[in-house]
Structure 1
Amino acid sequence: MKKITSVEEYIEVNPHFSEEISILRAIVTSTELEETIKWSMPTYCLNGKNVLGIGAFKNHFCIWFHQGVFLKDEHQLLHNAQEEKTKAMRQMQFNTKADINQAAILAYVKEAIENQHLGREIKPKRNTKPIVIPEELKAALNTNTALKSTFNKLSPSHQREYCEYISEAKREATKKRRLDKIIPMIASKKGLNDKYNS
């Protein structure tokens, strides 16, 4: 998939909701938020901190508020996309242009900005569990000192991603296939999910 580098490009590759995304964008850019692209989607920040993003999907489009848990939600427009996993983020979902209540959206955006000014945020918890290197990866690292050295220099979160990726595979054939996939990624000092974080 082509990397998106501008909001115009994002709108262009989502023609089914281009008008709707443009309306949401106009609401958000009428505020002090800075527009950027993160995770290949329009993202809006205040002093470098993510406040909200706009997204278009197959059957709906949305605004997600990174610290939406702190919004009053007077119009009952927000929901948690992943109930068990998501602590702070909340999403406002739309199916058609008629669903866009511009005044309400602007009020939510302004409240989100105010909350950011006040420093209201839930920080993600650091994973403090020890990293368990699966046997398959351990064997590959032990036979390649350069690879082992590179792996040891990766951040703990990157190391954990690779270990879990191998461990989660049930079948030996899948583990081998995954190992073959990640060895060049480790060698190039990349994290497993780096392509999603640009």
Structure 2
Amino acid sequence: MVFRILRSLPFYPRAVHKSMTLKWSQSEKMMFAALMSALAAVLQSAGGFLPGVGFFISPFATAPIFMATLISFRWGSVSYLLTIFLLVLIQPSELMIFPFTTGVLGIAVGWAIRTQVNRLNAIFIGEIVLFIGICIPLFVLGFPVFGPGVSSLNLITVLMILGFSLFYSWVWIEFGLFLIRRLRRFLS
């Protein structure tokens, strides 16, 4: 399991990116980004619409942003911003979570998988982005991302967030590679 982290990333994320970039028209890219935005907004708002079980569904809002970023960083950013606008209309209570954590992690993981060769580099990029994304609402804005129990700035809290960010980023890198394998079969 540990040795899997040290392996390089497979070739197919770049191949899928190249296929989407060269074969899809601007209209198809725009429609895909819009569809991913709508899906991300629905998944993110599940926590508010389905209390309890929805909180297990809402982390999957990272996947559509990740898939849009697979086309390009630009389309991932457009999808990210469109999802934020949709959340303003659908579920404004999720506006402190999605922009700082779920959405920005999707962009970071999508970009890292597409551009990095080393899996460990991709994991660290996602970790750093998620760590900063958690710390801004938690310590700067005072929003309890993990609930009221984690709100003070101390070394143990920072190390716990750093460890969580590392693990969560690794999970999303692996899940993202799984999604790309499925998408590759669909595209070919």
TM-score (structure 2 length as normaliser): 0.25
Larger Rg: 1
More helix by share: 2
TM-score (structure 1 length as normaliser): 0.24
